[in-house]
Amino acid sequence: MKRQFWMGFGSVFAFLGTVGIFLPLLPTTPLYLLAVWAYFNASPRHALRLLRHPRYGPALRAWMRHKAIPRKAKYLATFILVLSWITL
Positions of the chain with pLDDT lower than 70, given as ranges: none
- pLDDT score, position 18: 87
Contact 50, 39 (CB under 8 A): yes
- pLDDT score, position 15: 92
Percent of the chain with pLDDT over 90: 6
CA-CA distance, 15 to 35, in Å (whole number)?
A: 9
pLDDT in tens, 36-59: 888 888 888 878 888 888 887 887
Chain centroid, CA 33 distance in Å:
5
- pLDDT score, position 12: 92
